[in-house]
A and B are shown apart, each in its own frame.
Chain A
Amino acid sequence: MPQEHYIAIMSEPIEVPTMAGLMAKGESPEILFWVGCAGSFDDRARKITKAIVRILHKAGLSYAVLGTEEMCSGDPAKRAGNEFLFQMQAMQNIQVMNGYNVKKIVTGCPHCFNTIKNEYPELGGSYEVVHHTQLINDLLRSGKIRVAGGSFKGKKITFHDPCYLGRGNDEYEAPREVLQKLDAGLVEMKRCRAKGLCCGAGGAQMFKEAEKGNKEVNIERTEDALEVKPDIIATGCPFCNTMMTDGIKNFGKEKETEVFDVAELIAQAGEL
């Protein structure tokens, strides 16, 4: 019997359902929560994962995760030019997801989001894929979750557009609409939306040293952010989160400016 999977929601622990577990009970959830590698293994990103789970739970959605059956979507392999490895990953994931008759997927990673949404269909995996900021926006609009917003009053938040959510898939407004519910001041960096500057992690850069240059990309981007003197830099991507957090540390501004995922802010504001 594998260990059961609970995370704490306020004081009450909540079980995180798996596709396999639900199938054993003859149930099939409406939404698959695709956690992604960063969300599964990276200490910082795990907190984002939990925030998303709290939101899904609070909204009373029928969801499940793949647990140990999930594998890398193949995004970093594909961007690095290893199409074989990408398609191998994709085919395995598609077999698993089609086996569970998955229809709709939400994910906290714009790279997984883009890959599964745009590149899996040709390989036999067609699903409705949404980014977690899009789902959260829908949940807020329909009143399935509510935020108090009080704790963020007077705070200055700036949103860093993940490339694969923004330019990659033309979604600029959902995360901003969500942030506006926080009752905080939303300020834009000089480079934002379609002109937003990359954090430096995409295209498999996360897994290698940067080429020789005169600056790291995340430093350049952190400067953009610090220019507007935010209390919080909000992101929608675990890799952007790492890069911006490192950038803030580099400038020794951890006390003034914190980096959070949109999901974490909503989980905090909703007291989830």
Chain B
Amino acid sequence: MDYLSQIIFGVVFLAALSFFIYNVRRIRNNIRLGKNINRSDHKKERWRVMFRVALGQSKMKARPLAGFLHLIVYVGFLVVNIELLEIVVDGLSGSERSLGHWLMRWNLGPVYDFLIATFEIFALLVLVACVLFLLRRNVAKIRRFHLSEMTRWPKSDANLILIFEIVLMAAFLLMDAADYSLYANSNGADAPGMYPVSALLHPLFAGSDVFTLQTISHVCWWIHIVGIFVFLNYIPFSKHFHIILAFPNTFFSNLWPKGRFTNMENVKKEVELMFDPNADPYATPAPAEEGTEPGSFGAKDVTDLTWKQLLDAYTCTECGRCSSECPANLTGKLLSPRKIMMDTRDRLEEVGRNKRKNGANHDDGKSLLHHHITKEELWACTSCNACTQACPVNIDPLSIIVDLRRYLVMEESQAPPELTVMFNNIENNGAPWAFPQADRFKWAEDD
């Protein structure tokens, strides 16, 4: 390699990193638009959940085939990316297989043999898994990949990610194969690495001369590394961002029993006042504290949600396990928990864009509730927690559904009429049905 390619590599490398960091910060700022919630308690338990659920993929095994293929891609991704280290050093210094030569100098050639062999096997496994994933998505009729929220972009996004990975792995393997053929042709006993997959590909290059092989090796090297840089910068615009956010998202999981809903603090204040015999009903309300907005009850837009709920939205990789377990969705209702997460993310992107363009106080007159998520979806939920149970990265669509319901009921009085009757019954006679309180103990009279 000459200096020109080193310079080009350096520039591409820096540009890729900078643009990635810029977009990660953009997403972080969007998440910070959420309301505060304390999720820094019980650190030990949080680390445990993260190790088990994100690193250990404990919830993926609920679907063994998809879980196994995913595990291959996940481990393969981590393993093959170790090779990135050598690629970056080679690219910047103009060397070839610098790690291999360096290890050989220290008589650690077998270590490099082991590494390259492992990379090659995993690259092949990842490639096969991705092809199978493509077939699952596009040929096998799996319901959750074809629900109504899976419009053109979400479908293309999923396919693009898989095609990216296939191309990256193919380029990596072809580069190795060309190198292997070069070494084999020159009887290079001092060549670094062991190439189990390339050895199989060797016959492909049987008649190629040194120049052709070098060209293939160089071109594939560039396709592989530039592909990785492009992919890196694609991720923040894609559902694939879960490969990063799965870790913080599981760390900040809800540690309470799933059945527990939050008690709203602002409601608690009001109710306590009502129950306080010493409270003066005619007192003027205390002046609001400096810098606090008069809060609304429940959530109308993404900025009314907590940062954890917004983190959930960016973590969602649209696998649809939630919706495929949702009783409402399974029986043809409009509700799809995955759509709740996708809508929240898309609306948050929109709000973030607006704020960057038009200033922090810009209001576009739209909201998550009504413009993205309809009443019909929200009222179909049975709060059964099948969605939160199914999510492999502990996303909680139910909490968003409930916060939106709270706004519908407490701010807009938009409960379905039958529920309003139920509310009135509870208020008037202490039961959801219109039975008098005095009859509550009648069950023990009629025997």
A interface residues (Cβ-Cβ under 8 A, vs B): 3, 5-8, 13, 16, 18, 35, 37, 39-41, 46, 49-50, 53, 65, 67-68, 70-72, 74, 76-85, 87-89, 91, 95, 114, 117-119, 122-123, 163-164, 167-170, 194-195, 197-198, 200-217, 219-221
Which of these, A41, A71, A85, contacts B439 with CB under 8 Å?
A: A41
Given known A7-B444, A198-B327, A220-B327, contact A211–B263 (CB-CB < 8 A)? no
A-B contact pairs, 14 of them (CB 8 A): A6-B447, A41-B435, A41-B443, A50-B444, A71-B431, A72-B431, A72-B432, A82-B406, A82-B423, A91-B272, A213-B333, A213-B380, A216-B331, A217-B330
Q: Are B389 and A88 in contact (CB under 8 A)?
A: no
Which B311-333 residues have a C-beta within 8 angstroms of A?
325, 327-328, 330-333
B64 adjacent to chain A (CB < 8 Å): no
Closest to A41 in B: B435
Most chain A beta-carbon neighbours within 10 Å: one of B405, B407, B441: B441
Nearest CB of chain B from residue A248's CB, rounded to whole Å: 17
> Does B386 belong to the interface (CB within 8 Å)?
yes
**How many whole Å from A173's CB to the nearest CB in chain B?**
16
Total inter-chain residue pairs, C-beta < 8 Å: 227
Residues of A within 8 A of B288 (CB): none
Do the beta carbons of A7 and B419 come within 8 Å of each other?
no
Chain A residue with Cβ nearest B401: A203
Given the contacts A71-B437, A210-B333, A76 and B383 also touching, CB distance less than 8 Å = no
Interface string of B424-441 (1 = CB under 8 A from A): 001100111101011111
Whether A203 and B383, one on each chain, are in contact in the complex, defined by CB atoms closer than 8 angstroms, is yes
Chain A residues whose CB sits within 8 angstroms of the CB of B419 once the complex forms: 80, 204, 207-208
Contact of B376 (CB < 8 Å), options: A13, A81, A201, A211 = A211
* Nearest-neighbor residue (CB-CB) of B385 within chain A: A167
Chain B hits for A67, CB < 8 A: 440-441
Stretch at the interface among B36-44, B83-91, B409-417: B409-417
In the bound complex, what is the Cα–Cα distance between A117 and B257 (angstroms)?
A: 10
Contact partners of B415 in chain A: CB under 8 A: 80-82
User: Are B334 and A211 in contact (CB-based, < 8 A)?
Assistant: yes
Contact check, A83 vs B297: say whether CB atoms are below 8 A apart: yes
Contacts of A6 in B (CB 8 A): 444-445, 447
Whether, in the assembled complex, B259 has its beta carbon less than 8 Å from a beta carbon of chain A, the answer is yes
- Within the assembled complex, what's the spacing in Å between the Cα atoms of A202 and B258? 14
Q: A80: which B residues are within 8 A, CB to CB?
A: 405, 409, 415, 419, 422-423
Q: In this assembly, does B348 line the interface, its C-beta being within 8 Å of a C-beta of chain A?
A: no
Q: Which chain B residue shows the least CB distance to A211?
A: B380
Further pairs besides A122-B268, A123-B263: 16, Cβ < 8 Å: A40-B431, A68-B437, A68-B438, A79-B383, A80-B423, A84-B270, A84-B297, A122-B263, A123-B268, A167-B259, A167-B384, A168-B258, A198-B382, A201-B382, A204-B419, A212-B376
**B257→A83 contact, CB < 8 A:** no
| Residue of A68, A119, A198 with most chain B CB atoms under a 10 A cut-off | A198
Contact assessment for A169 and B257 in the assembled complex, using a CB-CB cutoff below 8 Å:
yes
How far does the Cβ of B275 sit from chain A's closest Cβ, in whole Å? 5
Q: Once the chains bind, are B328 and A207 in contact (CB under 8 Å)?
A: no
Establish whether residues A200 and B333, one from each chain, have CB atoms under 8 Å apart when the complex forms. Answer: no
Is B431 within 8 A of A81, CB to CB?
Answer: no
B385 with A84: CB separation less than 8 A: no
Asked if B271 is at the interface of the complex by the 8 Å CB criterion, the answer is yes
In the bound assembly, the distance between CA atoms of A5 and B258 in angstroms comes to: 37
B418 and A39 contacting across the interface, CB-CB below 8 Å: no
User: For the complex, what is the distance from the CA of A164 to the CA of B398, rounded to whole Å?
Assistant: 14
Q: How many Å from the CB of A163 to the closest CB on chain B?
A: 4
Contacting residues, chain A, for B260 (C-beta < 8 A): 114, 118-119, 168
- Measured CA separation A154–B192 after assembly (Å): 70
A87 near B445: Cβ-Cβ < 8 Å: no
A119-B263 contact in complex given A37-B431, A49-B443, A198-B382, C-beta closer than 8 Å: yes
Interchain CB contact under 8 A, A81 and B402? yes
- Residues of A with C-beta under 8 A to B383: 79, 163, 202-204
Determine if B431 and A163 form an interchain contact, defined as CB atoms under 8 angstroms apart. no
**Alpha-carbon distance between A74 and B275 when the two chains are bound, in angstroms:** 17
- In angstroms, Cα B418 to Cα A62, docked, is 40
Task: Report A69 CB to chain B, min CB distance, Å.
Answer: 8
B328: A residues at CB distance < 8 A = 211, 213, 217
B261 at the interface (CB under 8 A from A): yes
* A77, B385: Cα distance in complex, Å: 17
Closest to B59 in A: A194
**Known: A7-B444, A80-B405, A87-B271. Contact between A71 and B257, CB under 8 A?**
no
Using known A-B contacts A72-B431, A167-B258, determine if residue A77 contacts B423 with beta carbons closer than 8 Å.
Answer: yes
Bound CA–CA A16/B405 (angstroms): 39
Closest partner residue, chain A, to B268 (CB atom): A87
Complex: how many Å from CA A6 to CA B442? 10
Indicate whether B298 reaches chain A with its CB closer than 8 angstroms: yes
**Roughly how many angstroms separate A89 CA and B298 CA in the complex, as a whole number?**
19
- What chain A residues lie within 8 Å of B447 (beta carbons)? 6-8, 13, 50
Chain B positions 199 through 214: 1 when the CB is less than 8 Å from some CB of chain A, otherwise 0: 0000000000000000
Judge whether B418 and A16 touch: CB under 8 Å: no
A82, A118, A206: the one within 8 Å of B256 (CB) = A118
- Residues in chain A near residue B297, CB distance under 8 A: 83-84
Nearest A residue to B444 via CB reads A5
B221 CB, min distance to chain A CBs, angstroms: 47
Q: Is A5 a contact of B441 with CB atoms below 8 Å?
A: yes
Given A122-B263, A212-B376, A41:B431 Cβ within 8 A: yes
B441 CB, nearest partner CB in chain A, Å: 4
Indicate if the CB atoms of A16 and B444 lie closer than 8 Å: yes
Tell me whether B257 and A70 are in contact (CB under 8 A): no
CB distance from A246 to the nearest CB of B (A): 15
- Return the contact of B440 from the options A68, A77, A214 (Cβ within 8 A): A68
Closest to A208 in B: B418
A163–B258 CA distance with the chains assembled, in angstroms: 10
Known: A85-B423, A216-B331. A65 touches B271 (CB 8 A): no
* B408 contacts chain A at the CB level, 8 A cutoff: yes
Contact partner of A213 (CB less than 8 A), chosen from B331, B384, B439, is: B331
Partner of A81, one of B333, B386, B410, B418: B410
Q: Specify the chain A residue showing the minimal Cβ separation from B379.
A: A211
Return chain B residues, CB-CB under 8 Å to A217.
Answer: 327-328, 330-331, 382
The answer to whether B410 touches A82, judged by C-beta atoms less than 8 angstroms apart, is yes
B441-A40 in contact (CB<8A): yes
Bound: A118/B325 CA distance, A: 25
Instruction: From B267, B332, B421, B445, give the contact of A83 (CB < 8 A).
Output: B267
